[in-house]
Amino acid sequence: MDNFKFHNPVKIIFGKDTIREIGSEIHSHDISKVLILMGSGSVKKNGVYEQVIDSLEKYGIDFIEQWGVTPNPVLSHAEETLEIARSEKVQAILAVGGGSVIDEAKAIAAGYYAPDIWSIFEKTYKPTNALPLFTVLTISATASEINSFGVLTNDTENKKWSFGSKYSYPKVSIIDPSVQKFLPINQTINGGVDTLSHIMEFYFMGENEESTLAINEALMRTVIKSIDELVADPLNYDWRANLAWCSSLALQGITGVSMGGGEFACHRIEHAISALHPTVAHAEGLSIVFPAWIEYVNSLKPHIFERWAKNVWEADSVEAGIEKMKEKFKFWGAPVSLSEFNIEADEFEGIAENALLIGEVGKIKELNKQDIINILNIAQ
């Protein structure tokens, strides 16, 4: 194994009836005023909003609310929210929602001390501070509740880019899997696909890191089993809890130990797709791109892809593993082709160019424009 550094400072409070602890946690950081960032309003239907507000009021924490974060969060909304945060002189951001809400909250928290938010994503400004961030998670998928990364779409320039900073880790994240039983099943499936993708992006970089590879295989098998069980019984708390914890572990650092920073080519291609087609959910794009990418590059590292096929999918070849994965995605109701979103071949060049805007794509194989077009053709 290569040398590595591992550090994750996020305090996780996990389990049933834990949301009401958020007020105590924020109060313990001597914070008396927060901006609560939320999405479209589902937190008012599942009881999360009421629990959060009751907890804040119990500890005398003042708050202002900002709604309207979209599934692919956009720069214009983040900038609007940042102005409110500054004018109201809030001391912290409280993100209540899924990964999109938390990602935008990270951009706002870091942007509070930056010349502008987008400079952080363009890497022309490196954050030196950020507002404290707290989260109450309602959808397990991105692991944004436990890592330092955020994704935002510049909705004027059609750029969906990411950033990471040691200042962007949440202080405390509360994960109550019981509130996720209210999710539409497609959102649960999307969370599972996103989780699998995060694990695979590190796994395929492996060589002889047996401990990390074994952890990742166990997590992938558990995610697959969890989604199968939740498709059959969406109210099963134990499988909700298993999926939620797998999702957090998938991108909190442990799955990437000694894995060379991961192979995020599929994420980059997907970001280009959903930047140009915002109605495509992030995980939907990944469920389409990942099988095609594996088909395109697996011959460059056959031992690790064959291991994946055998140990995760019980398949005797990479080709059979890909087919089992696609069949499982279809069974869950996840898309496996671009044609399902009416994305045609005449758009592939533009998607490829968008993916390459911020530099090289891919480590197992550095992908040029034609490579990306070839992968998109496989995914068609």
Q: What is the pLDDT of residue 83?
A: 98
pLDDT on residue 161? 96
pLDDT of res. 202: 98
Rounded to a whole number, what is the distance in angstroms from the first to the last CA of the chain?
38
The CB-side HSE value for 238 (13 A sphere, CA atoms) comes to 2
Coil vs helix vs strand at 159: strand
Report pLDDT for 98.
97
pLDDT at 169: 98
Nearest Cα to 62, choosing from 101, 36, 81? Answer: 36
- The CATH code of the domain at 185-379 is 1.20.1090.10
Position of tokens 């594996």?
A: 294
Strands 133-137 and 172-175: parallel
pTM of the model as a whole: 0.95
Find all residues with CB under 8 Å of 128, minimum gap 6, and list them: 113, 167
- Contact yes or no for 272/352 (Cβ under 8 A): yes
DSSP category for residue 43:
G
Q: What angle do CA 374, 378, 380 make, to 5 degrees?
A: 110
Residue 237 in contact with residue 340, Cβ under 8 Å? no
- 78-85's contacts with Cβ under 8 Å and 24+ in sequence apart are 78/104, 78/107, 78/108, 78/111, 78/117, 78/152, 79/111, 79/116, 79/117, 81/35, 81/37, 81/108, 82/108, 82/111, 82/112, 82/117, 84/35, 85/35, 85/112, 85/131
pLDDT at 1: 84
Evaluate the CA torsion angle 53, 55, 57, 63 in order and state its sign.
negative
Tokens found for residue 223: 């995610």
Give the start-to-end residue ranges of the domains of the chain: 11-178, 185-379
Which pLDDT belongs to residue 182? Answer: 87
| CA geometry: angle 252, 295, 367, nearest 5 deg | 70
* CATH top class, domain 11-178: alpha beta
In this prediction, residue 2 carries a pLDDT of 84
pLDDT under 70 in the chain at which residues? none
Give per-residue pLDDT as tens, 126-182.
999 999 999 999 999 999 999 999 999 999 999 999 999 999 999 999 999 999 998
